[in-house]
Structure 1
Amino acid sequence: MKRFVIALDQGTTSSRAVLVDHDGTVVDSVQRTYHQIYPKPGWVEHNPQEILYSQLGSLTELVSRHHLSESNVTAIGIDNQRETTIVWDPSTGEPIANAIVWQCRRTASMVEELCGDPKVAQAIRDKTGLLPDAYFSASKIKWLLDNVPGARERAEAGELLFGTVDTWLLWVLSGGMVHATDMTNASRTMLYNIHECRWDQDLLDLFGIPACMMPEVLPSAHVFGETSYPGIPSGIPIAGIAGDQQSALFGQCCFEPGEAKNTYGTGCFLLMNTGDQPVASKNNLVTTIAAAPPEAAKTQYALEGSVFVAGALIQWLRDELGIVRSAEDTEYLARSVPDTGGVYIVPAFTGLGAPYWNPDARGLICGLTRGTTPAHIARAALEALAYQTCDLVRAMEADAERRIVTLDVDGGASRNGFLMQFQADVLRARIHRPSNIETTSMGAAYLAGLTTGFWDDTDEVRSLRKGGDVFVPTMPEGNAERLLEGWARAVQRAM
């Protein structure tokens, strides 16, 4: 009988269930979208039940299509949008409010008030590896406890549970038997000591969060529980969990220190494996826990840097400016001109992320002349994605004191051949694009499969990565340096 693993890929706008066979081939996937809720400017919410229905709906459809059962599904793995915060009543299974999404900025002033003291900010940095920010879960939990009537009293009485989306899915899938998360998701809450691998009581006290709300924290490669939910075969081990970016790092088989990946999505997320040594950043990157295989004896870490606007810039060209009809049009337009004609775009629509962390920066287009055409603008937009990634890579190399020779890439924009070649040129590094660029779900599948013996070890998993494309620098180095100098001047103007 042919056997499979299933990855549940729970993202910010959709949920997927992905069926993977022993050869590492994606046999099938089912995707369902759900609504984004914007109650006020800067606020972003999801309905936790809608997240659940989209994810379980995709899973039950996949099970039905392929007549799956506990006898031919070895394990289920979960990857998820990180930091998004859900609080629910375990006696009823009902959330007390909508989920507060990682993008939500409603708690920015709260974080500034609580963490404005440099000593407090440094303590958070030292313990969690994170820069104090509303991005992470801690202030979102506090907001819910402070603003939902009766929530704080119920939480202190042990009547409410907190979880990131993985914890919510795991709790429901296990029939309410398991309240747990993995170390990668815990490390994104701003409440978890990544060196001592425990919830930090001082940080829980700072944000007024009762410890009894918090899930048990387990390794990413672990049997968390078994399925027990109507319409889904019972007894399937849920055997791997990781936050989406750490899952993508694992899915790219970046198992060794110095190996790195970049995901080109709405934003860009660059992660480098630093092994069992956490690296404290001096360049505004964050230190986070990486997903580790079952055989890892010690906690594994990564450096991470985020670009706020990547694919969103291409969407802006399409939806607001009308320069292109589809994202694919940008590659044709970019190749139709020899260069940008001196045009640079700095897409600081919501400030600049790493390594600048300037929330007041604003987007600009500079270098315009009467001869500037839509093709020049489209090419400048693609180049901006590569420049921002280059900034992150250089900061990461300085922190880790090692050169990134090969960068593994994934995400929708990595399909753009012009962008990948230009990335290789300005980065002066080899770019590897796997044949399957949906590496986030593959990371969850690999974790679940390795934990349950579906695959023997990481060497076998590496052997499954067949094909793909490699881009190497072809532009003269001097030309690349001049382009990067122009980019640096444009960024300074945006600041």
Structure 2
Amino acid sequence: MTVLAIDQGTSSTKGVLVGDDGAVLARASVPVKCCYPHPGWVEQDAEEIWQSVLAVIDQLPAPDAIALSNQRESAVVWDDTSVSPVIGWQDARTAPDCDRLREHEPFVRARTGLALDPMFSATKLHRLLGGRDDRRAGTIDAFLVHRLTGEFATEAGNASRTLLLNLETLEWDPELCELFGVPLHTLPEIRRSDAGFGSHRGVPVAAVLADSHAALYAHGAAKATYGTGSSVMVPSDSAVDGLAHTLAWRTDSAVYAVEGNILASAAALDWMARTLGVEHLEPLARQAPTTDGVHLVPAFGGLGAPHWDRDASGVIAGLTLGTTPAQLARAAFESVAHQICDIVDRVELDALHADGGATASELLMQLQADLAGVPVHVSTSPEMSALGVADLAAGGRRERPTRTFVPAISDDERHARREAWHAAVRRSRMASPELEGSLR
């Protein structure tokens, strides 16, 4: 059975045609744009996303089944004649809405496993509905499934990222819907990940997974996905302080995970490349053997896990008159690895699996192994989210080759570099009300 796995991400929609043996037979990719209408706002055009999916389908041979992985938490509302802008997962405009509900955070976390943060979908959906209750509301998977098949349904793992799913019952929670002002009847039917989601042009849509969940399915072990932001996800039935407890997928049984979400990974590298006026950042970064104490904390929209501090500000710490562009470039790569480590430090790992576009950087992967202090097994395929959902559609996970990076610095050096990073993060968070007293 051939499976066309569509991976709809923040910056592009990719299609991977996967054969009976799990091998990639063909690929296609279409870029999609983000816009930033106000500071802290991130929007996308839902129609552009939909057209990118159709373009990918049209560029590849007809499959036996379609599988979908998608960017999570981004929210959209629509009806038969119109569709709202997509409020992206990075968007922070609803931070004041979250603050107004802060007294309910223990209740929200107990029901959903998630922090009360604007990254998640509920406050976005409330904003987009604008008091109306006659439109459909959902995440990107629900929108695309409806456009592909006419069925109004969402996959359970995606639903778990909305702040509206009860993590115990795995159903929409009426009390949460009332709290966030999202009418229950505007939400799609929740289905298991492999339930089937209708058909498109006679081809069944056999499976749906959120992108990071699909990568976890493909790896079968603790993983970090390096994209515009990053996700570190570890299978676990128990919650961990500072991390989200989420439904990874639901098939015959429910599989849970803990996860830390980083808001700016490749986004930090892109920002530094633009700032320095270079097209490719890694060759410049390799010219500096160290950052000489310079640290970039890319809190462009605050910090995600494990800090969950939307008041944090982006900073470059340790600048001197002797700081070079190469050191700044290296600091950007180190910022990605340090943020991953902030999450890895909360869980016990013998190794970390890695995927995503930024894993093409050998510099970044070696920094990750050095700073995490564990081997990093990097997928040789850049499309692990697509391959994971293709595996699910085809009936089960398949092993794929990796390349491994091992730590090459001493424990003492690792600890010193991590402490210097923590000091830079404290500077970034000095404006946070929860820290003001302790940092004066």
TM range (shorter): over 0.9
Amino acid at match of 1:264: Y
Distance (Å, rounded) in 2 between the aligned partners of 1:107 and 1:485: 32
The one-character-per-residue Cα deviations of 1:152-195 (angstroms, maximum 9, x if unpaired) are 3xx2xxxx322211112112221x2x211111110011110011
Distance (Å, rounded) in 1 between the aligned partners of 2:130 and 2:423: 44
The SS at the match of 1:387 is helix
The SS at the match of 1:475 is coil
What residue number does 1:337 align with?
Answer: 288
What residue number does 1:208 align with?
Answer: 181
What residue number does 1:280 align with?
Answer: 239
Distance (Å, rounded) in 2 between the aligned partners of 1:224 and 1:344: 46
Amino acid at match of 2:205: I
Pair member with larger Rg: 1
TM-score by length of 2: 0.92
The SS at the match of 2:196 is strand
What residue number does 2:59 align with?
Answer: 61
What residue number does 1:360 align with?
Answer: 311
- Identity level (%): 39
- 1:134 CA displacement: 2.0
Runs of 4+ residues over 4 Å off in structure 1: none
State whether residues 48 and 95 of structure 1, in contact with CA within 8 Å, keep that contact through their aligned partners in structure 2. Answer: no
Which has the higher mean CA deviation after the structures are superposed, 404-413 or 372-381? 372-381
Give runs of aligned pairs for residues 10-409 of structure 1, distance below 5 A. Answer: 10-63=8-61, 68=62, 73-89=63-79, 93-113=80-100, 115-117=101-103, 120-146=104-130, 151-152=132-133, 155=134, 160-174=135-149, 176=150, 178-228=151-201, 234=202, 236-252=203-219, 254=220, 259-274=221-236, 277=237, 279-282=238-241, 284-292=242-250, 294=251, 297-322=252-277, 324-327=278-281, 330=282, 332-395=283-346, 397=347, 403-409=348-354
- 1:96 CA displacement: 4.3
Distance (Å, rounded) in 2 between the aligned partners of 1:39 and 1:140: 15
- 1:311 CA displacement: 1.5
- 1:326 CA displacement: 1.1
Distance (Å, rounded) in 2 between the aligned partners of 1:445 and 1:42: 34
Taking structure 1 as reference, are residues 54 and 492 closer, same or farther at Cα in structure 2, changes over 3 Å only? same
Taking structure 1 as reference, are residues 337 and 137 closer, same or farther at Cα in structure 2, changes over 3 Å only? closer
The one-character-per-residue Cα deviations of 1:398-424 (angstroms, maximum 9, x if unpaired) are xxxxx2111111112211112211211
Taking structure 1 as reference, are residues 203 and 96 closer, same or farther at Cα in structure 2, changes over 3 Å only? same
Amino acid at match of 1:409: A
Amino acid at match of 1:51: I
What residue number does 1:453 align with?
Answer: none
The SS at the match of 1:316 is helix
Contiguous gaps of at least 5 residues in structure 2: 430-440
State whether residues 74 and 449 of structure 1, in contact with CA within 8 Å, keep that contact through their aligned partners in structure 2. Answer: no
- 1:44 CA displacement: 2.8
The one-character-per-residue Cα deviations of 1:194-242 (angstroms, maximum 9, x if unpaired) are 11111101111122332222211111122222224xxxxx1x2211101
The SS at the match of 1:94 is coil
What residue number does 1:475 align with?
Answer: 409
Distance (Å, rounded) in 1 between the aligned partners of 2:338 and 2:270: 18
Taking structure 1 as reference, are residues 381 and 23 closer, same or farther at Cα in structure 2, changes over 3 Å only? same
The answer to whether the aligner puts 1:435 opposite 2:380 as a matched pair is: yes
The one-character-per-residue Cα deviations of 1:56-93 (angstroms, maximum 9, x if unpaired) are 12102213xxxx2xxxx33111011112222222xxx3
Distance (Å, rounded) in 1 between the aligned partners of 2:289 and 2:87: 45
The SS at the match of 1:287 is strand
Taking structure 1 as reference, are residues 27 and 361 closer, same or farther at Cα in structure 2, changes over 3 Å only? same
Amino acid at match of 1:241: V
Distance (Å, rounded) in 1 between the aligned partners of 2:124 and 2:312: 25
Amino acid at match of 2:72: R
The SS at the match of 1:24 is coil
TM-score by length of 1: 0.82
Taking structure 1 as reference, are residues 352 and 99 closer, same or farther at Cα in structure 2, changes over 3 Å only? closer
- 1:298 CA displacement: 2.5
The SS at the match of 1:291 is strand
- 1:358 CA displacement: 2.1
State whether residues 94 and 123 of structure 2, in contact with CA within 8 Å, keep that contact through their aligned partners in structure 1. Answer: yes
- 1:367 CA displacement: 2.7
Distance (Å, rounded) in 2 between the aligned partners of 1:86 and 1:320: 32
The one-character-per-residue Cα deviations of 1:112-132 (angstroms, maximum 9, x if unpaired) are 22x122xx2111100111111
State whether residues 117 and 308 of structure 2, in contact with CA within 8 Å, keep that contact through their aligned partners in structure 1. Answer: no
State whether residues 285 and 330 of structure 2, in contact with CA within 8 Å, keep that contact through their aligned partners in structure 1. Answer: yes
RMSD: 1.9
